[in-house]
Amino acid sequence: MKLVIFDVDGTLSDSQNHIVAAMTQGIEAAGLPLPSRSEMLSVVGLSLDEGMAQLLPDAPLSQRDMVVQGYRDAYRARRMLAVPPLYPGAAETLDRLAGREDMLLGIATGKSRRGLDALCEHHGIGGYFFTRQVADDHPSKPHPAMVEAALADAGVDARDAVMIGDTTYDIEMGRAAGVATVGVSWGYHPIEALRSAGADRLVDSFAALEAAVSELLEGRG
Q: Is 9 a catalytic residue?
A: yes
Out of 7, 160, 166, 170, the active site residue is 7
DSSP state string for 112-137: -HHHHHHHHHHHT-GGGEEEEE-GGG
Q: Which helix (H) or strand (E) holds 154?
A: helix 145-154
Selected catalytic residue, list 9, 166, 170, 200: 9
Strand partners, 180: 162
Phi, psi of 137 (to 5 degrees): -110, 0
Start-to-end CA distance of the chain, whole Å, equals 9
Can 58 be counted among the known catalytic residues? no
Look at strands 129-133 and 103-108 and give their pairing. Answer: parallel
SS3 109: coil
Q: Are the beta carbons of 106 and 130 closer than 8 angstroms?
A: yes
User: Which amino acids are annotated catalytic?
Assistant: 7, 9
